Amino acid sequence: MVDMIEFPVTGVSPYGIAAGQDGAVWFTGVHEGKIGRITVAGAHTLHDLASTDGQPSVITTAPDGTLWFTETRANLVSSITPAGELDSVATPGSGPYGIAAGPDGALWYTAMTTNAIGRIETGKAQEFPLPMDGGFPSFITPGPDGAMWFTLNQANAIGRVDADGRIESFPLPTESAAPVGMCAGPDDALWFVEIGAGQVGRIGTDGKITEYPLPNREARPHAITTGPDGACWFTEWGANRIGRIATGGDIETFPLPTAGSEPHGITTGPDDALWVALEHGAIARVTL
């Protein structure tokens, strides 16, 4: 049983979402060039970026409490403090998309255009080329083994990069699965969603992959996160739902209150609720 409430955020299209260390939730306004902050009570504020069409996409929290996010079209990896101070690191031509803080204290990102994995430390970006053409790296997350793990949307594989930039990849069993969202699970494995195949996948640090078909294979799952209940939760962009998968593979799905809400990012908030970015112009809070 879940309870959902939607908080409208007028004039912005929420896409990526992350829990801040300031007790609030932060999100990207992908089409407007804005970063938003919403309290657990639903009050929101918006911060304008330098470019209205830079396409702020995925957002994450750094160890020092700063929020980092990618501006895919502007070729920037940017940051905002809880006080609203903005800064950026240029990643020329790279098309940054996914981003996550690594166990080494650096920020790691996926470079879709340059087909690489990037690392930012002390304001400088370094990129590690992928060993295959057109991999289209998407989401990235730290693994339990001290490496960063990422989805390769067009290479139909999962990738791993260590702190020295050594990259390996693991092909998916299902053709044209097109993996996108990824998170570290509650079971020392990595969990991901396959937007092209309508499945959720699990990969152990040994490279073993298991796939779980969704009840609706046309649901277009997009993002995934570890929830407060020891399961993984994901968005179904094409079915207007969120879903839950237990570590044993049992799946439940739950419809969102508003039709056509376009759920994208999902995170566990500071209040132990799930928070979902709805591109139609709202943030949903889901209590379990």
Strand partners for 58: none
Helix (H, G, I), strand (E, B) or coil at 156: coil
Choice among 31, 44, 264, 280 that is catalytic: 264
| 280 catalytic residue (yes or no) | no
- Do residues 213 and 193 make contact, with C-beta atoms less than 8 angstroms apart? no
Strand partners for 267: 275
Helix (H, G, I), strand (E, B) or coil at 117: strand
- Do residues 149 and 143 make contact, with C-beta atoms less than 8 angstroms apart? yes
Tell whether 262 is in a known binding site: yes
Tell whether 222 is in a known binding site: yes
Tell whether 6 is in a known binding site: no
CA–CA distance, 125 with 146 (Å, rounded to integer):
20
Distances (CA, A) of 103 to 4, 93, 231: 33, 26, 23
- Residues with a known catalytic role: 264
Q: Residues forming the annotated binding site for Mg(2+)?
A: 262, 279
Q: Residues forming the annotated binding site for substrate?
A: 222
Q: Residues forming the annotated binding site?
A: 222, 262, 279
